[in-house]
Structure 1
Amino acid sequence: KSDTADATVSLNCGHLGSTKVKVGTEWKRYTFTATSKKPAPGADMRVWVTVGFSQKGTLWINAPQFEDGKEATEYSGSPQDSPTTPAKPAKPEPKPAARPSLLSRLLPFLGPPREPVPVAESRKTSQPPKLDGALDDPCWQAALKLTNFILYDSPQPAREQTEVFLAHDSDHLYIAIRCLDSRPAALKASVASRDGQIFLEDDVEVFLSPWQDAHDYFQFAVNPLGTRFDGRGFDASWDADWQCKTGREPNAWTAEFAIPFHALDLGPSISDTWRINVCRHRANPEREEFSSWSRVPGKFHVPDRFGELRGLSRRDLTPFFVACKPEGIRCERDGKAGALVKVANLGDADRTLEVKLTLEGGTKPQSATASTTLAKNGKRFLGVAGFGPIDVAKNLQLRLAVTDQASGRLVRTQTFRRIQSLLFGPVLPLRLLPELSYITNETEFKLLAEVQYQYYLPPSGMLSVAVAPAAPEVAPVAEWEDPLHKIERWMPMTFRAQSKDWGPGEYRASATLSTVEGKAVETASVLFMKLPPKPNEVKINRFKRTLVANGRDFIPFAMGLSTSDNLEGFRDIAAHGFNSVMPIFRVGGMTDEQAKAALDLCQELGMKAIFWMHFKPDKPYAEIKRGVVRWVEMFRDHPALLAWKMVDEPEGWWEGKIGTEAEIMDLYQAMRRADPHHPVFKNHWAWKRGYGSYGGLEATDIYSVDRYPIGRQWNAMQVMADLIDDMAFDGARDGKPVAIWLQMYGSYDSPREPTVAEHRCQTYITLIHGARLIFGFIYKPMSVELWRSMPGLAEEVRTLTPIL
């Protein structure tokens, strides 16, 4: 019932459909029947049932019932809904109150006991399998078989079962998988590139953690073609040196994995009990299934639901207790290059380690080695020299291999696919950075020049800086010279010029670092624009890495909204202190008038709007681009507009459906040409230093990621801090702000919402570690306490903005 007559309420049954009903002020039962398009019963699916109420007032909901069948039955409470209440006993004589135990005080907070996870055992073998996809090796005959795969987010067994066998020797963990299939001819397998989107097809995935608490884990996956994917947690750029071969049987496809221990970053913190899960996607559209050995809720990346793996002795693995990480690759003036690595002996004895680095992707592979002797728990920085000239424009990768010289055993390996973040190029000897992303009517132009010490720089010299229109042979509009009496490790300098009389157009700032005799040693340049002023312009302060709206620093404290027609939701968000909102605008799915009404309401409520473009990948890219650019041109002058979000999480769907990374860049450039006065950005689910994520660092004005670890990872706040540190590293180098989507929900893929304290903590972690845009996913949390805490938190962010 509602407190108003004829209130409109939407009943939504996930992807199955929805309907709208009129609700009055008296209790009344409403029913809605949705038909599944899949032949599998409802137990095979997770359905998100929601009730929508988009007007001012109060809605009461009681006694929901979700059931199979063509017609709804009368309500009847289940035992969980209506527990039996025993007769009240006679009231005893009062006794002195006893102090409650610690356990009894904690029980209300612990919730129901967790479902136990299954246990697997790996048996040591002296005959490792021949990796050919045929599961006929003696080690598989002796291994214990794991089966009884369960549909994810359901207690029902999978119709198409999977069998798993485990074995190991001194150097590898071996895994054999048989994917039974009643229709093997219908297998979907076309992706052939390493780390491609094999998850859209038939595949099997092994999740492995050497740590008993599964605080970190590795993912190894393969499709029937034998195409491999690996990652560490959500970091898909992590690569390991492992092998896998697939095969076919009359009613199954098979896979054999060989995972070397030297690829798993082992150390003293591992235990005898590891964690493991094996998951499978059967992509047959007639009966698609997601199943796993240990049941998981809603997705496979749930480490606290991984099963236990026993049989691997920590003591036997101590030879692999080595840490080695490249710290950087320096390109010298003579064209040669060398690397700096940090290496540590985490084992229980002194030893000599040889570090070999191999650069691949150039004209031919280049290798260099260096050795060091380390005591137990010893560590040091080690220089590895001997590389020839490096073409940094190419997509180079670095292979690392550490060998114990006494035994000749390989003890640590890793492959780094994108090494741009390791090159000392990002730490330039001479760097220029304008204060603002563009200028309009500012009276003063500010330019930051940084000199970073390099061994070949002179001890003193002269820094000459000039600003001129980008057209050739045009006189400078500003010039400076600054004598450097002593070039030290890091020297930032700010140059100022009166820019009021500069005409609109593109400008180039250039700098030359010379010796005292006048010989040029280093040069640098950067382009920037002076644009005609607009009332609603939004700039980026590249020094502070924050937005500038209406001439003032602005930290968006924004709430995401899954639809732009929930106008009452806009009012609710504004009433709870948010200064911005990010609603979804469906390109081709709503009218111009509807989009304008949402922006107009933002303006009325005093909120800024981040225009979230949403489009279905069912049209050619050129048509999508036209629709996006059309809206940019239509609404670029709206006073409520703050920024454009051009695409969300493209790494999960763009490739193969829309285009490639080239189209990401093309769409970004088209939107920037249509509106150079507002930032354009894309959002991701993962981040890699020096690359960002799909589309790269150049195709965005803001570095944005969503991460929702609360309830799924034991160290959720540390996960957030580490992620923002990686993003802020790139942001500081490039002068771009960092944006974070914070978890405010608990539903289809997260066990619970954050508490008030957790959300406050993740908000402050966001600010402390360098992010300057805060987005909440997604309106509206179920927790009344959490929602009521928003105005106070918003006020704190507003108070801190001038300081930050």
Structure 2
Amino acid sequence: APREVVAPRGEAPLVDGRLDDPCWQGGAWSGEFTVLDLPERQAPVQTAFKVRHDGRRLFVTARLDEPRLGEVVAKVTERDGKVYNDDALEVTIDSDADQVDHFHFAVNSLGTVFDSHVRQGGQVRTTEWNAAVEAKASRGEGFWSVELAVPLADLALNGHSRGAWGFNVARERQAGGQTELSTYAPLTAGFHQPSQFARLTLEQADLERYLWQIKSPYGREVSEADGGLRLTARTYLLNQTGRFRFFRLTASLRGAGGESSQAVTNGLDAEQGKELTLMVPLKAPGPQVLTLTLSDRASGETWAVHQDVVELSYTPLALTLTSPSYRNTVYATQRLTKVAGRVACGLPVEALAGKRLEITLCQGTAGLGSVAVTKVERETAFSLPLPALPPGAYEIRAELRAGQETLHRASAPLRVVPPSAVETRLDERGVLTINGRPTLVFGWFSTPPEEYAAIREQGCNALVDYNAQWRQPEEQKKLLDEVQAAGLKVTFYPYPKPAMLRDDAFAKPLSPEEALLLRENVRRWKDHPAVLAWYLADEPELRPALPQRLQQIYELIAEEDPYHPCIMLNDSMTGVRKYAFAADILMPDPYPLFLKNGLAARGLEYTTQFMKTVAESTGGWRGAWVTPQAFNYGDYGRLNNRAPTLTELRNQWYQAVVAGATGALWYTWSHVANYSHLRLGMPFLARESRLLEPWILALGSGGAVPFAPEEAPLHTALRQVDGVPVLFAVSTGTTPLEAELSLPAGSGSAWHVISEGRQVTARDGKLRDRFEPYAVHLYTLDAALAGRP
């Protein structure tokens, strides 16, 4: 059971870091901190804390024992600096106990504060988020102390905040000469594990006025207005306070150009929601902190604050091609007869009246065809005939005109390439095609040549090789020949020497000398039939890599080799967003971290969160693959870890499939022989995936299937191929679940469960089944399909 913390209501302390306020004199201290990752071991140097509230703010004070007070590390003085690298106290608050989002505060012995909004189970953090927090620190005999005050309005309270919250206090100790990490809640696999937090109860807390839900602003558009720029966006506000309230909602932007704001007033009854339109002057394009502040219309008391970091840009006219959808390139296997796209216009709607768009296909100064659009909107779709063109460079140009006057121009390149012996590209759905045939990629990292035949026999068709940059050309050719002979494909780094992979190299733009070497290396190998794709970067956010460099590398390779895509692997959702447009295929590695005598430390739904981030970050215009965890982190020194079971392997993969993944390269083959679930389970999963390849790749042929209970941790997708349905249903729940799936009208009743040898009968359009923890059920109406080995 989680540990319990109680916060009595009382008079607010003077926040000065001392422990002499009346509110701190009564009640017991909470302590008995344990070592991170070793919940059975008491921390050698202890910490104790108390929590109070006054109905407006939450107060935390802590006494941190320190036998080496003179060695306390206290270097960071700037807000949101790396306070956690000093001796520091950390406080984490999950104010609605959803075990997904939480707020993180760290304070060092100087009183310097780091705070962030941590989302998606601990994997994405926004450090630009700043609460109106107050913190002070002090020193005593053999200890140092902290007082922290956090406004309740900054903690995103909602209707689920009436009960106990998730809460923890942790500590980084550096004074002993090495980093010692300890925690009140017995955590494993890091401090940001909200599913393992303690429970915090606020006594005599009247929280009702703070209970609102504010949706992150959506539909954001930047346009010209009143002689400048303006952001228009929408948000949805839900009143969960229990009664009618008048409010003021103030939207503000803070960026390099300064600050601006705009307010709207309105009223909402209990459980009533409303979409509100926000219009805020934009001082200058670029990154902005967008803050929504909800307050009492009469008194001005702040009830809720919501912050987002957004990138706002303005272009009067922007042209995007949607066909061809991949690299703006026409391939021999496509047989396209038209070019299609959309033109986005940043001018006010009223300024578009009477205007027209001229869309022209050009080569140099020669026009090869055009179309006029007389109804111009903020976003205008177009298409124009594509004649049979010889290979070469072309351009699609868009002009916004008033009469004969051209007001704005935009363009996009169009490339026509000749046929190739091996044409590997993505189709309009982001599915990999090889010579026009959609292909499911399923394979491994780091498979040695002597195992190529074995993985091919199991149903694998690809591998990742980490070491091309270390080999001489003749050695690399030998490996590629062996891959080809085994009927496999390989992705590897395009870099001709290891120096181009060093952290210091990745931190700088691509030099002309590096570009020349890279171009020569791509030319050397691009025509080898074993090449699947170029592996651009492995977890570049950890270096961190300069996005400009990766963009340069991607564009160089795309120019030099139109016949093979580029892959990017990320280990954080922030990294996915940061580098999304420097590759054709995004392949995150959302490792759940499987615990001994336990389940997944991060929650198994971590895979879905990553894959949704891939789709959201690219608008669906990139390929989505995944690198699931098929290894034991304990073999790398992480305590209390284990390898995944077959159930967990299958769950990771089909979760990704439901979320749109069309390929998997598993990490890593070197662990397979050590664990029976990997050794025996992965061949089964490879064969099953190959059997279901047409349905896995049939993106857009169906959709999610509704289920009950609605809050169940289920992930569903119905796919159709030649009239045969396959329903993917994946549970990320940690307890058994009885679920009811609502089938489309006209569906049959006899559903066979693939690989399970059983049948479930649908009644009244409902399919009822039981899901054990992490269970995957694959249903079909085709008995022959379900019965295949």
* TM norm structure 2: 0.73
Tell me how far 1:370 sits from its aligned partner.
0.4
Tell me: CA distance 1:176–1:339, structure 2 relative to 1, closer, same or farther (3 Å). Answer: same
Q: Deviations over 1:487-509 (max 9, x none)?
A: 68976444342354243x4x432
8 Å CA contact 1:209–1:274 kept in 2: the answer is yes
State the partner residue of 2:492.
611
**Structure 1 counterpart of 2:386, from 497, 501, 518:** 497
Matched, 1:380 2:274: yes
Tell me: CA distance 1:344–1:663, structure 2 relative to 1, closer, same or farther (3 Å). Answer: same
Residue 508 of structure 1 aligns with an amino acid whose one-letter code is: E
8 Å CA contact 2:469–2:493 kept in 1: the answer is no
Tell me: CA distance 1:747–1:698, structure 2 relative to 1, closer, same or farther (3 Å). Answer: closer
**Structure 1 counterpart of 2:29, from 145, 166, 185:** 145
For the residues of structure 2 that align with 1:342 and 1:737, how far apart are their CA atoms?
31
For the residues of structure 1 that align with 2:77 and 2:432, how far apart are their CA atoms?
42
Q: Which region of structure 1 is more displaced relative to structure 2, 394-403 or 264-273? A: 264-273
Q: Which region of structure 1 is more displaced relative to structure 2, 293-302 or 184-193? A: 184-193
Tell me how far 1:429 sits from its aligned partner.
8.0
State the partner residue of 1:303.
194
Could you say what secondary structure the match of 1:793 adopts?
Answer: helix
For the residues of structure 2 that align with 1:177 and 1:633, how far apart are their CA atoms?
62
8 Å CA contact 1:353–1:372 kept in 2: the answer is yes
State the partner residue of 2:105.
220
State the partner residue of 1:77.
none
Tell me: CA distance 1:536–1:202, structure 2 relative to 1, closer, same or farther (3 Å). Answer: farther
State the partner residue of 1:638.
528
Residue 375 of structure 1 aligns with an amino acid whose one-letter code is: D
Q: Which region of structure 1 is more displaced relative to structure 2, 288-297 or 760-769? A: 760-769
State the partner residue of 2:398.
511
Structure showing the higher strand proportion among its residues: 2
8 Å CA contact 2:253–2:291 kept in 1: the answer is yes
Tell me: CA distance 1:384–1:213, structure 2 relative to 1, closer, same or farther (3 Å). Answer: closer
State the partner residue of 2:62.
177
Residue 102 of structure 2 aligns with an amino acid whose one-letter code is: Y
Could you say what secondary structure the match of 1:639 adopts?
Answer: coil
8 Å CA contact 2:105–2:113 kept in 1: the answer is no
State the partner residue of 1:684.
570
Tell me: CA distance 1:730–1:214, structure 2 relative to 1, closer, same or farther (3 Å). Answer: closer
State the partner residue of 1:320.
210
**Structure 1 counterpart of 2:624, from 725, 738, 757:** 738
8 Å CA contact 2:577–2:617 kept in 1: the answer is no
State the partner residue of 2:180.
289
8 Å CA contact 1:244–1:255 kept in 2: the answer is no
8 Å CA contact 2:92–2:103 kept in 1: the answer is yes
Tell me how far 1:134 sits from its aligned partner.
4.1
State the partner residue of 2:665.
775
**Structure 1 counterpart of 2:361, from 467, 482, 498:** 467
State the partner residue of 2:241.
347
Tell me: CA distance 1:145–1:597, structure 2 relative to 1, closer, same or farther (3 Å). Answer: farther
8 Å CA contact 1:278–1:294 kept in 2: the answer is yes
State the partner residue of 2:413.
527
State the partner residue of 2:293.
401
Residue 390 of structure 2 aligns with an amino acid whose one-letter code is: D
Could you say what secondary structure the match of 2:459 adopts?
Answer: coil
Residue 148 of structure 2 aligns with an amino acid whose one-letter code is: F
Matched, 1:800 2:685: no
State the partner residue of 1:263.
154
State the partner residue of 2:538.
648
Tell me how far 1:197 sits from its aligned partner.
5.4
State the partner residue of 2:585.
702
Q: How many residues align?
A: 660
Could you say what secondary structure the match of 2:611 adopts?
Answer: helix
Q: Deviations over 1:187-215 (max 9, x none)?
A: 55656666565555544432322345635
Matched, 1:449 2:332: no
8 Å CA contact 1:240–1:413 kept in 2: the answer is no
Q: Deviations over 1:320-351 (max 9, x none)?
A: 11112222443334334233221111110000
State the partner residue of 2:303.
411
RMSD across aligned positions (CA): 4.0
Could you say what secondary structure the match of 1:396 adopts?
Answer: strand
Matched, 1:207 2:97: no
State the partner residue of 2:778.
none
Tell me how far 1:366 sits from its aligned partner.
0.5
Q: Which region of structure 1 is more displaced relative to structure 2, 574-583 or 189-198? A: 189-198
For the residues of structure 1 that align with 2:235 and 2:186, how far apart are their CA atoms?
41
Could you say what secondary structure the match of 1:259 adopts?
Answer: strand
Could you say what secondary structure the match of 2:243 adopts?
Answer: coil
Residue 168 of structure 1 aligns with an amino acid whose one-letter code is: H
For the residues of structure 2 that align with 1:341 and 1:329, how far apart are their CA atoms?
10
For the residues of structure 1 that align with 2:306 and 2:293, how far apart are their CA atoms?
7
**Structure 1 counterpart of 2:455, from 563, 573, 580:** 573
8 Å CA contact 1:123–1:143 kept in 2: the answer is no
Q: Which region of structure 1 is more displaced relative to structure 2, 598-607 or 349-358? A: 598-607
Could you say what secondary structure the match of 2:588 adopts?
Answer: strand
Q: Deviations over 1:387-439 (max 9, x none)?
A: 335432x222212111022443211112212244xx7x699886434433154
State the partner residue of 1:28.
none
Tell me: CA distance 1:205–1:602, structure 2 relative to 1, closer, same or farther (3 Å). Answer: farther
Tell me: CA distance 1:667–1:140, structure 2 relative to 1, closer, same or farther (3 Å). Answer: farther
8 Å CA contact 1:553–1:801 kept in 2: the answer is no
For the residues of structure 2 that align with 1:429 and 1:463, how far apart are their CA atoms?
12
State the partner residue of 1:432.
321
**Structure 2 counterpart of 1:249, from 99, 122, 139:** 139
Residue 791 of structure 1 aligns with an amino acid whose one-letter code is: A
For the residues of structure 2 that align with 1:164 and 1:428, how far apart are their CA atoms?
57
Tell me how far 1:531 sits from its aligned partner.
5.7
Tell me: CA distance 1:329–1:304, structure 2 relative to 1, closer, same or farther (3 Å). Answer: closer
State the partner residue of 1:790.
685
Could you say what secondary structure the match of 1:574 adopts?
Answer: helix
**Structure 2 counterpart of 1:128, from 3, 8, 13:** 13
Tell me: CA distance 1:570–1:587, structure 2 relative to 1, closer, same or farther (3 Å). Answer: same
Tell me: CA distance 1:316–1:648, structure 2 relative to 1, closer, same or farther (3 Å). Answer: farther
Tell me how far 1:612 sits from its aligned partner.
5.5
Tell me: CA distance 1:664–1:444, structure 2 relative to 1, closer, same or farther (3 Å). Answer: closer
Q: Deviations over 1:81-102 (max 9, x none)?
A: xxxxxxxxxxxxxxxxxxxxxx
List gaps (5 residues or longer) in structure 2: 700-789
For the residues of structure 2 that align with 1:194 and 1:677, how far apart are their CA atoms?
48
Residue 398 of structure 1 aligns with an amino acid whose one-letter code is: L
For the residues of structure 2 that align with 1:319 and 1:606, how far apart are their CA atoms?
65
For the residues of structure 1 that align with 2:681 and 2:266, how far apart are their CA atoms?
54
Q: Deviations over 1:610-660 (max 9, x none)?
A: 226897997742799869948656544432222233333333x324xxx65
State the partner residue of 1:84.
none
Could you say what secondary structure the match of 1:388 adopts?
Answer: strand
For the residues of structure 1 that align with 2:123 and 2:289, how far apart are their CA atoms?
20
